Structure 1
Amino acid sequence: MTLPAHPGSVAPVSPLRAPSTTLPPEPLPAPLTPAGARRKLRAARRARKLYEREEVRRFTWRSRRRRNVWLGSLGIVAALVAFVLLGTFSPLMALRTIEVVGANRVPAEQIQSALDGQLGTPLPLVDFAEVKQELSAFTLIQSYVTESRPPNTLVVRIVEREPIGALVTASGFDLVDAAGVVIQSSAERPAGYATIDARAGVGSAGFRAATAVIAALPADIRSSLDTVTAATKDDVTLTLAGGARVVWGSAERSDFKAVVLAALIVTNPVGSVGEYDVSSPDSAVLR
C-alpha cells in the first residue's frame, strides 16, 4: 500500500539505469577443409616464389652492375695498353732523322754516321746505352743530352771541350782543355793560345792551377799570354807577349787578381814595367 506523501516533502526518485546492450557473439571460424588447406598452401607457395624472384632479381642486378664496372675498367686498361704498344712498335714511330746541335770541331756528319745503327728503331726503344758508347769515342765531346722528338727524330745536343792552352811535345804541340784532354795536335803552336809548362805533368796540382788562372783571365789579357808556368799549385807565373812577367802565386782569388792585373796594365802598360806581382792582390807590386 502506498502512503500518501507528506505535505511539503519530496518524493524519492529512483536512479536511472542504462539500457542493457548485448553484443552478438563473434562467428566461429569455418572449419578448415582439405580443399581450403590446399588453397592456402598454393597461395603460400606463390608468395614464396614471388619473394624468391624479387631476391634473385635484386641480387643479379647488383652482380650485373659490378660486372659492368669491371668490364669498363678492363676496357680502359686494354685501350691504354694498345695505345702504348701501338706508339712503341708502330712503324710510324721509327727513327728516321738524327739531328746534331752544338757540334763545331766535331763534324755533325760523323756523329750521325756513328749513330745510324739506331735508324729504323721505334723511337721509345732507342738503345741509349749504345748511343753513349758511340759518342764516348769522340774525345772532343765533353757532354751531351738527347731529346726524343716524335714521331721520328732524335736530337743530340753536344757540348764540346773548350781548349785552354798548348802543351809542348816531341812532335810539336797538343791543344788541351782544362782536364788535359788533347783536342788537336799540330807541328806548329796553335795561334791565340799560351803554352802551359806544368813540370809535374797533366793532371798535377800545378797543371790544374795553371788552367784555373787562364780561365779567370779576361779575353784581352788571355790573348796576349805567351806562357804559363806552374811547378806547384802555389807558384803560377805568367809571361805576357813583350816579355813582362806576372807573379800570380796560387789560383785562389784568381777572379780578383785578374781585375787587379787588368787595372795595373791600364795604368802601367806592358813594356813600361818588367813585372806585375798580384800574388797578394790587396797590395800589388810593380817592378
Structure 2
Amino acid sequence: MRRPAPLPVAPDEQPSDDQPVRRGRRARDETPEAVVTTIAPAADGVDGADPGIQDPDEPPLTQRDVWRAARARRKALKSEIRRFTQRSRRRRMIWLSALGALVLLISGTALAAYSPLFAVEKVTVIGASSLDPTQIEAALADQVGTPLALVDAGEVKAALIAFPLIETYALEAKPPHELTVRIVERTPVGVLSSDVGYTLVDAAGVALATTDAQPAGQPLLEIEGGTESAAFESAGLVVRSLPADLRAQLTRVQASSTDDVTLTLGEKTVVWGSSEQSGEKALVLTRLVAANPDAETFDVSTPAVGIAG
C-alpha cells in the first residue's frame, strides 16, 4: 500500500532558511493550551445535590424520622403485595366459605337426624294381604320414640320373624316421624298332610301355618322325598307359574321326580313333566282346555305337541 502524500504547507508556515524543518509531533512546549472544563455529575438528589451531604438549612434527621420512613416503606410493600395477591386471596376465601357451608350443613343435618325432632311416631305396613297389618305394627311398637336414623334393623328383624308369611321386607324412613315397612308375603303352593294336620308351605318348603282341616283353595301336595327333595322344588315352580284361572282349579299336585309333575284340575288330569318352559306349557294347556272342554286328560310335557284325551 502506498503512503499518502503529505498535506501542503501554507505560505506563512514555510520554514525560513534559519529554521530547520521539523517532522513528526510538535514539541511539547509548542502544544497550544487546552481549555479544560470539568463537569461534575449530578447526584440523585434535589437540584443535583449529593445525597451524602446534608443541606445545612434542613433540620438534622432523628431516629423518629428513620422509623417513620421504614414504616412507610413497609406499608407500601404490603400494599403492593396485597394488590398482586388479591385474586388468589379472593379464590381462597370462596373455597373456605364453600367448605365452611358444607361442614355446617352436614353437621346440622346429622344433629337434626339424631335428635328427637325426627323420632318415630308412626309405623306403616305396606304389602300385607294374608297378614293383619295392625299385628305387625303392634310388634314394631318398640321403635316409636326412636330417632329415624337410630332405628335398629336387628330389632325389627327379630320382631318380624314371628310372622312366617313374611318372605322379605324393607324399611323406609319418611321424615319427620314415619317409619314404613314394605313386606313381601310368601306365596303358598299347597298343603302337606301329616298326623298333626295340614301344613301350609311355600315353594321353598317353609311351613306357614298348620290347621286341622285342609285350607280352602290350597291343593294337596303329594311329593316323594318331602320338602327337601328336588321333586318338591320342581313342583313348587310349576304351581307358581300357573295363571290365576288355572291356579283356582288346582286341587292336587303329585311329583315323583323333577321331570314327573302331575296336576289335578277338578276332574281333569294334566301331565306337566318338568318345570322347564312352564309359561309356554300353561298357554298350551289353556288353549287345549278351551278347545276340548270334555277331555279328562291333557299332556303338555312337550309344549310343541299338546295332547288332549
TM more than 0.5: yes
The match for 2:134 is 109
Write the letter of the residue equivalent to 2:241.
Answer: A
Distance in 2 between residues matched to 1:255 and 1:34, nearest whole Å: 113
Residue 151 (structure 1) aligned with residue 176 (structure 2): yes
The 10-residue stretch of structure 1 (103-112 or 196-205) with the greater mean CA deviation from structure 2: 103-112
Distance in 2 between residues matched to 1:37 and 1:235, nearest whole Å: 128
Distance in 2 between residues matched to 1:231 and 1:33, nearest whole Å: 125
The 10-residue stretch of structure 1 (139-148 or 219-228) with the greater mean CA deviation from structure 2: 219-228
Distance in 1 between residues matched to 2:229 and 2:146, nearest whole Å: 45
Residue by residue over 1:236-258, the C-alpha shift from the partner in whole angstroms, topping out at 9 and shown as x without a partner, is 1122322x322221111122222
The match for 2:11 is none
CA separation of 1:30 and 1:176: change in aligned 2, threshold 3 A: closer
Distance in 1 between residues matched to 2:212 and 2:162, nearest whole Å: 24
Q: Gaps spanning 5+ residues in structure 1: where? A: 1-21
Distance in 2 between residues matched to 1:152 and 1:36, nearest whole Å: 90
The match for 1:238 is 263
Distance in 2 between residues matched to 1:34 and 1:223, nearest whole Å: 121
Secondary structure in 2 aligned to 1:109? helix
Q: In structure 2, which of residues 182, 190, 213 is the aligned counterpart of residue 188 of structure 1?
A: 213
User: Scaled by the length of structure 1, what TM-score is found?
Assistant: 0.77
CA separation of 1:37 and 1:86: change in aligned 2, threshold 3 A: farther
The match for 1:125 is 150
The match for 1:54 is 76
CA separation of 1:49 and 1:130: change in aligned 2, threshold 3 A: same
Distance in 2 between residues matched to 1:181 and 1:78, nearest whole Å: 50
Residue by residue over 1:69-118, the C-alpha shift from the partner in whole angstroms, topping out at 9 and shown as x without a partner, is 68746743553254124312332211111111122322222222222222
Residue by residue over 1:209-242, the C-alpha shift from the partner in whole angstroms, topping out at 9 and shown as x without a partner, is 1122222223222222221110100111122322
User: Scaled by the length of structure 2, what TM-score is found?
Assistant: 0.72
Tell whether the 8 Å contact from 2:124 to 2:137 is kept in structure 1 after alignment: yes
The match for 2:243 is 218
The match for 2:277 is 253
Residue 276 (structure 1) aligned with residue 301 (structure 2): no
Pairs aligned (count): 262
CA separation of 1:58 and 1:72: change in aligned 2, threshold 3 A: farther
Q: In structure 1, which of residues 197, 218, 221 is the aligned counterpart of residue 222 of structure 2?
A: 197
The match for 2:307 is 285
CA separation of 1:189 and 1:74: change in aligned 2, threshold 3 A: closer
Secondary structure in 2 aligned to 1:202? helix
CA separation of 1:26 and 1:141: change in aligned 2, threshold 3 A: same
Distance in 2 between residues matched to 1:156 and 1:142, nearest whole Å: 13
Choose 1 or 2 for highest CA Rg. 2
Write the letter of the residue equivalent to 1:93.
Answer: F
Distance in 2 between residues matched to 1:197 and 1:226, nearest whole Å: 11
Root-mean-square deviation (Å): 3.4
Q: In structure 1, which of residues 174, 178, 184 is the aligned counterpart of residue 203 of structure 2?
A: 178
Q: CA deviation at 1:150?
A: 0.8
Distance in 1 between residues matched to 2:135 and 2:228, nearest whole Å: 29
Write the letter of the residue equivalent to 2:219.
Answer: A
Tell whether the 8 Å contact from 2:289 to 2:295 is kept in structure 1 after alignment: no
Residue 161 (structure 1) aligned with residue 183 (structure 2): no
Q: CA deviation at 1:60?
A: 7.6
Residue by residue over 1:125-171, the C-alpha shift from the partner in whole angstroms, topping out at 9 and shown as x without a partner, is 22223223322332111111221111111111111111221111212
Distance in 2 between residues matched to 1:179 and 1:33, nearest whole Å: 110
Distance in 2 between residues matched to 1:70 and 1:222, nearest whole Å: 65
The match for 1:264 is 288
